[in-house]
Structure 1
């Protein structure tokens, strides 16, 4: 769960409650584009846990969730400037931190076309890390495409801890998403998106997508380079942009589209994400992808 404030918490403020999380953001983005998405996790047997599941299901996402006596995890976001927010995590001793390998249903993972994981879940503790490894084991044995978004969070673990945990997962992944700094965690010494993508692919993945914010993205896919410019929009809230990008790419991958179409849709979803408030609320339906091509304020 996420509680968002328009200003500093210390001064007292109103909060807007909603769901948040890298994996759920991606699942919602894929679902809105017409793809099939399943979210696997653990939530508290409480009202917030119920809200998480109801919201995901309302977005067309199938949920496979264990319920726990521990509370549903929470993060607080306070907006400090027009372009910058601060986040506080409350995840210790929560349901999500008690995720285990036993929570991963083999038939669900083995029956998927793509398993998408992020670097956030293994940062929550030994149990969640083992759960991610279990999911990767199942996917690899079943020939399921494995997608990893590095998604480094410095408030959850150190760079050294992240590198140790993520390198084994990265080597078994087919596709990796990362920002330049995140890519540098796993391929230290590489400079520029081209070197970073090549360094990742040298570790095993067949594809690497380096997200470069306002400069778009660079992808190395099956040895072929691709560049995708960003879609120009007025930035309102940059949180969730990377998840939206991954969702757009994966939705088109599931639809059998070629790399350049995947990257274009990824860039469009990233633009929708930053131009609206919230992590996922502004993500488009497939019929809305052309909205950013219109120059009028109102589409009639």
Structure 2
């Protein structure tokens, strides 16, 4: 638990703002690339650049070895994350930036469900209600029956499920390996998983496309770094609501750069989902604070 003297809420908010802007940079660059390159090839090049950035940390990590069972979990996570990345790149090239961002907010909700199903975590009524509200938000975004739900929409929903699975594997691995090793092995395993798929559809790549994909890797690395720093200096109840601004930035990017219309239903649905996530986060924090005095009392 974070010591109150170590908490710096404003710094946490600023780091989370940086994280959101970095991830919007990722979506913007992939949207700019569009469908000119096959999905598997674009995803492979993005992760290959990520591996290059992480190479200095990989050699010592591989020499040190891993705990028993870790390699199997790394491999399984690589398969699931590869599927997630393919779905996400496919959706991003075909949907407005704001829509992809809003549907992506389902990830933490699905992680909550997965933790209950696979790790036996207690699914309290408040969590069940929040999950129901988040699903309602997703329906507001997709509006099935009122408009066409395209393969891009289905791909992004699939990406949300696969990313949730990847996060659950990461949670299991957190007791077996360091955070740096988990990130590095994810990048390496996904690159290996994408290699044969990319080779099957390979097309010539221009310098501008390579530069954009290197930028995607750099923005993604920056986003994860900023998020980690935010979590280190401020509680989730402070940083979680800031993630909603990512939808605002994505909407502005789509409108100003790509000429995409502003869909009020996407903003409303995204707001509903992030409200559900923020409520879960706030309630968990309140319960932890209430439990703290009892824990301290046993130590005095």
TM-score bracket, shorter-length normalisation:
under 0.3
State the structure with more CA Rg.
2
Return the TM-score normalized by structure 1: 0.25
Higher helix share: 2
